[in-house]
Amino acid sequence: MARTAVIKKHGGPEEFVIEDRPVGDPGPGELRIRHEACGLNFIDVYQRTGLYPMDLPHALGMEAAGVVEAVGEGVSHLKPGDRAAYAAQPPGAYTEERVMPAAQVCPLPDDLSFEQGAAMMLKGLTVQYLFHRTTPLKKGDTVLFHAAAGGVGLIACQWARSEGITLIGTAGTDEKCALALEHGASHCINYRSSDWSKEVRDLTGGKGVDVVMDAVGKDTFEGSLDSLRPLGMMISFGNASGAVPPLDIGMLGKKGSLKITRPTLFTHIARHEDCQEMARMLFGKVVAGDVTIRIDQRFPLDDVAEAHRTLEARKTTGSTVLTL
C-alpha cells in the first residue's frame, strides 16, 4: 500500500484526500518505482480544477524521482535499484510508490539528487522542446518569455544564456525580475508596473522578438502577438491565467504573417527514444553547471493542498517539490 494524494471531484485544493492505495506488480512495459520526491506543476492545477478533465477518482502529479523496485517484461533501459526520474502520463506521481509505463522513465545520473530530478523533469524537458524542437533558434535570436521567475522560466533564462540567445522576461514583482536577471535573462519587465508589450518593442528597437514563449495564456496572449517581429513565432504552451479565447486566424496576417503553435510536452516525449534523448540533453546541462535547478518550496505530501494554494496565488519562485 502507498499513501497517495487523490481527488474524487474537480474543484479547489480542498478536494485532495490522502489515502492508502494498493501498488501491485509491473506488467509488460511497466515498472514499479518508490518515490523520494514529487514535482508540482501548473498542469496539476488544470487537472484538479477540471480545465483538463479526467476520469475520477484519480491521483494527481506528473513528475517524480526515486528508485526502481521492479521492472516488467520488455523493459531494458532500467533495472531494480536504479535511480530514475520522469515526467509522464498518466497522472499519479503524488504517491509513495506506483506502477507505471516505463518508456518515459529516465535513468537519473548519480550527480543529481532526487529532489533535483523531481523538480526538473517536466519543466526542464519543456524548455528543451521549446528551444530545440518547436522552431529553429540560433545564437543571437531574441525570445520573450513570460513568468520568467517561475520553475520553467528560471531554467529557460539559464538555457538561453548558455546558447547565446537574448531572453526578455516578464514577472509580477521587482524581486522576481531580479531573480530572472540573476539566472540569465538579458532584460526583465515587471508587467504590473509598465506597458510590457511597448517595452518589449523599445528593447528591440521597434522590431519585436523572434519568438514568444507564453505559458500564462489569456492575460498575455494579445500583447504577446504584438511583441513579435513579422514572421515571428508564437508558442502558447500553458494557461496559468486561463484559456486563450478563440482566435481569428486572419489576425496573424494583419500583424505580420505570424506563426503560432500550441505544443504539449507529452507529444514531444511520446516516443521512448525522443524522451530519453531529451532527458540526456537536460541532464547534461545541469551536470555541466549551465542550468541550476532552484527549489524554493518544499511541502510534505500531507500538505499538498497548501502547496496548490501557494502555486495558484503565484507566491512561488523556482520549483516546488513534495517530500515523502
Q: What is the pLDDT of residues 205-247, one digit of tens each?
A: 999 999 999 999 899 999 999 999 999 999 999 888 888 989 9
pLDDT of residue 101: 98
CATH 3.40.50.720 domain residues, the chain: 135-262
CATH 3.90.180.10 domain residues, the chain: 2-123+266-323
- The CA-to-CA distance between both ends of the chain, in Å, stands at 14
pLDDT of residue 241: 83
pLDDT of residue 259: 98
Fold exhibited by the domain 2-123+266-323: Quinone Oxidoreductase; Chain A, domain 1 (3.90.180)
Separation between Cα atoms, residue 245 and residue 251, nearest integer Å: 13
DSSP states along 224-235 = HHHTEEEEEEEE
Cell of 60: 494527481
pLDDT of residue 240: 80
Question: Can you list the residues of the chain whose pLDDT is less than 70?
Answer: none
User: What is the pTM (predicted TM-score) of this model?
Assistant: 0.93
pLDDT of residue 306: 98
**For residue 145, which phi and psi values (nearest 5 degrees)?**
-125, 115
SS (H, E, C) 250-277: HHHHHCCCCEEECCCHHHHCCCHHHHHH
pLDDT of residue 170: 97
What are the C-alpha distances in Å from 110 to residues 36, 67, 103, 291?
A: 14, 12, 20, 17
pLDDT of residue 82: 98
Q: What is the CATH number of domain 135-262?
A: 3.40.50.720
pLDDT of residue 288: 97
Instruction: Identify whether the C-beta of residue 6 lies closer than 8 Å to the C-beta of residue 16.
Output: yes
